């Protein structure tokens, strides 16, 4: 029986039925990807926001309690809903085998419903594929085997919320954050208004190149993205992103945006925070 599943945005799990002839192929794709993702003997480091995973050198992990629906795997599929490609948009697809869960990020790029896909037919002729389909990639983004392993916080955080595993930035780290190229911010004001979430977001952001990546975008693109995601921040005359420090909610909003913790629902176009179906009010 297939052990292929879809993880929904509310952390419920749906079974993905497979034809018997492709079960082994799908299973092996995930298992082989897992062996590449976490080679035997690789150094393991507890993730706290400070440790950065270096591909091929080490892998980070947290002790994560999987959502309650996972208790149904592998024996209680009869009580589980089936994935409906026309209605469901999972945040991850995964395969279970021998006590291990192999997770792969899933989003609208995996869907072929809205794309023109040409199918090869007899006689070297191509025709349009009219059936709905989705792509299964030959890699995984997280592995659970008693610990939740991942190479990238940003990617793994799209599967499960990991913010609570991040230690808080110290005042000294906030000062260092304020010195990053591309932003303009009063660090004394941040230290005064920051809450736990603020400090965790700063810790995460300081270990990425997200700010420089964002600031390299065209001026019109930056302004468009800020408006699209309801971010209350401006670009000044020095082409720096000015972080608001008179309101902690506005500040956290900018930090969430830079950490890529905000997304638009594919179907409703509503704004959500990653790993939850909590609607964003902006």
Give the pLDDT confidence score for residue 267 in this predicted structure: 39
Cα angle vertex 8, ends 109, 253, to 5°? 75
Beta strands in 89-194 (DSSP E): 92-97, 100-105, 118-121, 125-128, 142-144, 148-150, 183-184
Query: How high is the pLDDT of residue 53?
Result: 72
Dist. CA 65–CA 250, nearest whole Å:
31
Q: How high is the pLDDT of residue 108?
A: 85
**Predicted pLDDT of residue 114:** 61
Provide the total of helices (H) and of strands (E) in the chain, helices listed first: 8, 15
Q: How far apart are CA 12 and CA 264, in angstroms?
A: 20
pTM, full prediction: 0.76
Which stretches within the chain are classed as H helix? 20-37, 153-156, 171-178, 187-193, 196-206, 210-215, 219-228, 248-258
pLDDT of amino acid 263: 54
Predicted confidence at residue 125, as pLDDT, reads: 84
pLDDT of amino acid 276: 46
- The DSSP bridge partners found for residue 93 are 6, 104
Task: Identify whether the C-beta of residue 38 lies closer than 8 Å to the C-beta of residue 30.
Answer: no
> Which regions of the chain are under pLDDT 70?
51-52, 113-115, 262-282
* Cα→Cα distances 135→108, 111, 115, Å: 10, 7, 12
């Amino acid at each position: 029986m297939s052990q292929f599943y879809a993880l929904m945005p509310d952390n419920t799990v749906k079974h993905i039925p497979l034809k018997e002839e492709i079960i082994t192929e799908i299973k092996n794709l995930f298992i082989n990807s897992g062996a590449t993702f976490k080679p035997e003997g690789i150094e393991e480091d507890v993730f706290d926001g400070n440790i950065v995973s270096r591909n091929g050198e080490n892998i980070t992990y947290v002790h994560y309690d999987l959502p309650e629906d996972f208790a149904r795997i592998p024996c209680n599929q009869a009580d589980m809903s089936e994935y409906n490609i026309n209605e469901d948009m999972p945040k991850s697809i995964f395969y279970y085998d021998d006590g291990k869960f192999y997770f792969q990020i899933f989003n609208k790029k995996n869907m072929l419903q809205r794309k023109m896909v040409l199918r090869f037919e007899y006689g070297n002729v191509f025709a349009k594929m009219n059936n709905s389909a989705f792509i299964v990639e030959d890699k995984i983004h997280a592995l659970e085997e008693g610990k939740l392993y991942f190479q990238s916080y940003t990617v793994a955080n799209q599967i499960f919320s990991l913010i609570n595993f991040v230690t808080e930035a110290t005042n000294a780290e906030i000062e260092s954050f304020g010195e990053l190229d591309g932003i303009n911010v009063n660090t004394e004001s941040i230290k005064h208004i920051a809450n736990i979430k603020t400090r965790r977001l700063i810790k995460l952001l300081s270990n990425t190149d997200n700010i420089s990546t964002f600031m390299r975008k065209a001026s019109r693109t930056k302004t468009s993205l800020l408006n699209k995601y309801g971010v209350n921040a401006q670009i000044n005359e020095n082409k720096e992103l000015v972080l608001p420090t008179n309101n902690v909610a506005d500040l956290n909003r900018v930090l969430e945006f830079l950490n890529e913790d905000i997304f638009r629902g594919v179907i409703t176009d509503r704004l959500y925070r990653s790993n939850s179906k909590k609607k964003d009010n902006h």
